[in-house]
Amino acid sequence: MQILFIGDIVGEPGRRAVSMLVPLLRIRHKLDLVIANAENAAGGSGITVATAAEIFESGVDIITMGDHLWDQKEVNSLLHSESRLVRPLNYPAGTPGKGCAMWRSEKHPPVAVLNLQGRTFMQPMENPFQCITQEVASLRQNTKIIFVDFHAEATSEKIAMGRMLDGSVSAVVGTHTHVQTADEQIFPGGTAYLTDAGFTGPHESVIGRDIAPVVQRFVTTTPQRFTVASERIILQGAVIEIDDNTGHALKIQRVSEPLSTTKK
């Protein structure tokens, strides 16, 4: 099985990259499943009904989220009605939505897609290390193929999660920092790991935002409006090959695909 995971989609440029590049990547990598983090998809912050529909229509099968989950009020209707949208599992009991989605096809075993949010340098949440253990044990009764998007700030927290889950899930890929790391590997137990998938959107920027106001904020500490940038659009993420029988990862390959490659 071939899975593409797409790092944080940022605004309209990121959605455009997904729309134009996912069909090409499906052919090139013979993809079976496409997962995308879209917590920044609507104007650079949160997600709406329309942007979710656009992303699904572009060929994404499952959407994961993160700390910008609540930035658009429309997300409440999505959490209640859209089974393909996954919010962090470690929200308190009673929070709308689900922390896991099950993808099914006729050719391959089911795939469980989990979303977690870290706690280091981020808002308080339930302990992801505690809640994930029971969830994975329950999921493994139905499938050996489990994909985890760990939306977290600290590298050490992400690596610790990957190491803890090694052998019990197929992949742990980090999101949130918007900077693609170069540490893709397969751990001894068969779990593919990447600290951060990067982001999909304008890279002539400060992690997707126009450069000048971000610099001004750091220089003066005064509030600025952080608008989504527009230049050098790149789709980033990773392609992971997984053994259908064991659920172990066989290969992980980073993706950094410029939108300009589609223009001749």
Contact 131, 86 (CB under 8 A): no
Q: What is the pLDDT of residue 163?
A: 98
Kindly name the residue from 29, 68, 108, 248 that is annotated as catalytic: 68
Return the SS3 of 238: strand
Considering only the C-alpha atoms of the chain, give the largest distance between any 2 of them, rounded to a whole number of Å: 57
Distance (Å, rounded) from C-alpha 36 to C-alpha 55? 9
Report the predicted TM-score, pTM, of the whole model to 2 decimal places: 0.96
Whether 68 sits among the annotated catalytic residues: the reply is yes
| In the chain, where the domains are located | 2-259
Span 110-160, pLDDT tens digits: 999 999 999 999 999 999 999 999 999 999 999 999 999 999 999 999 999
3-state secondary structure 110-133: CEEEEEEECCCCCCCCCCHHHHHH
Q: For the chain, give me the number of helices (H) and strands (E)?
A: 6, 14
DSSP assignments along 175-220, one per residue: ESS----S--EE-TTS-EEES---EEEE-SSBTTB-HHHHHHHHHH
- Tokens 């994909």 sit on residue: 147
> 63: closest CA among 44, 45, 40?
40
**Position 264 pLDDT exceeds 50:** no
Q: What is the pLDDT of residue 210?
A: 96
* 5, 8, 13, 18: CA torsion to nearest 10: 20
The structure tokens listed for 160 are 């610790």
CATH 3.30.70.270 fits 2-259, yes or no: no
Distance (Å, rounded) from C-alpha 146 to C-alpha 140? 8
How much is the average pLDDT of 15-21? 98
Q: What is the pLDDT of residue 260?
A: 78
Span 76-116, pLDDT tens digits: 999 999 999 999 999 999 999 999 999 999 999 999 999 99
Span 21-31, pLDDT tens digits: 999 999 999 99
Q: How far is CA 262 from CA 122, 161, 195, 230, 256, in A?
A: 37, 37, 28, 17, 14
Question: Residue 263: pLDDT band by 50, 70, 90 thresholds?
Answer: very low
Q: What is the pLDDT of residue 261?
A: 47
